[in-house]
Amino acid sequence: MIFGDRKSFVPSTSDQQGAESLLPAGLADLLPPDADKENVLVNVIASHFTAYGYQRVKPPLLEFERSLLRRVGGATEAHTFRLMDPISHGMLGVRADITPQIGRIAQSRLANAPRPLRLCYTGQVLRVHGNQLRPERQFTQAGVELIGSDHVDADAEIVLLAIECLSALHIPGLSVDLTLPSLVPTLTRWLAMAEDRAQALRDALDRKHAAEVKDLAGEHADLFLALLRAAGPAGPALAALEKIEMPDEAAQERHRLAQLVVRLMEAAPHLTITIDPVEHRGYDYEAGLSFALFAKGVKGELGRGGRYIIGENGQKDPATGFTLYIDTVLRATPMIKMKKRLYLPHGTPLDIARQKRLEGWATIAALAPEDKDTPDALPQEAKRLGCDALWQQDKIVAL
């Protein structure tokens, strides 16, 4: 096995001329070897999921709209493609996120399974719109959900598992940004702030617009400006948060954040941890401590996760989990371990081919006799097919 760095296949001239008309915006073909690399990457990540005791589930790509958008799924409504089912004549939705489906499974098919329930998944999602950081509308997700535990150790397990998966791919410069999406709503309720004003204040905090925050917060400007400033490396950020007067509910969230930071620093002392207590954008259904994963020099998030509640009508489960965005993770991964390609000249015995595959080679067998009158016909053909070596005179010859 070696680290493969062969370039993707180059599209033909006709493909290049017609590429924009072949596929809608935000959709793309993944060509060799990138498709193989993504498969290897997903398998590495999934192996870490199962090593932590998470069991795989595989929900369908489409569901009835009414079930797909219930519970936490309602947060994905604006991203969801809809179509008519020709059999039932009911409206179907194409999943825009897999987490709501895991919640449905946990609350229905696995309602009687012992808690905490550990589930994992990989699969494709499709969204109506991309955004500036993520123009792709179809991409692969891989993630886990830990259902039925409200303990801070569950939060720590989730963050550390995400970091371990990314570290196994040798992604440099990893960092985790912790946030409390419910903190600002808790404070605006405590202050009896009008809903429209509270929403405008939340938006201003998301944009880090201090002047607008000051104007909207009015007599409470010092509180929210202090929150805005309490962002950055975990140590100073926590120290700043501790100085801010908060109601008990918000103080409990702050305490949980501090507990998590301690656990992460003990388990991963070299991990870069930052805190942004007012970040809310993108945390559509998280109801507590949440996080995003980044790598130095890589545009966009590698993944995100956090606390949420599944269930309704009194039957609710606390849950936490994360989702990795595989296309971004693929771009961040410096090298993916690939099999070396061995060219087998026409007529090579099948038992030799089998043996070389057992030794870890990908064998590329000639389907017709090579031109024996052409000098270097074998190495030329092997190189043309992107091979690393060829089988010649009963031995492997590197190219």
Q: Tell me the domains of the chain and their CATH numbers.
A: 2-172+279-336 (3.30.930.10), 182-276 (no CATH), 340-398 (no CATH)
Q: What is the pLDDT of residue 71?
A: 66
Structure tokens at 40: 């290897």
Q: What stretches in the chain show pLDDT beneath 70?
A: 1-21, 71-74, 282-286, 312-314
Q: What is the pLDDT of residue 1?
A: 32
Q: What is the pLDDT of residue 12?
A: 52
Q: State percent of the chain over pLDDT 70.
A: 92
Q: What is the pLDDT of residue 315?
A: 73
Among 254, 86, 96, 232, residue whose Cα is nearest residue 186: 254
Q: What is the pLDDT of residue 8?
A: 47
Bridge-based pairing of strands 362-365 and 341-344 is parallel
Q: How far is it, in rounded angstroms, from Cα 275 to Cα 176?
A: 8
Q: What is the pLDDT of residue 223?
A: 95
Q: What is the pLDDT of residue 335?
A: 77
Whether the CB-CB separation of 387 and 341 falls below 8 Å is answered with yes
Q: How far is it, in rounded angstroms, from Cα 320 to Cα 308?
A: 6
Q: What is the pLDDT of residue 375?
A: 84
Among 105, 122, 111, 155, residue whose Cα is nearest residue 44: 122
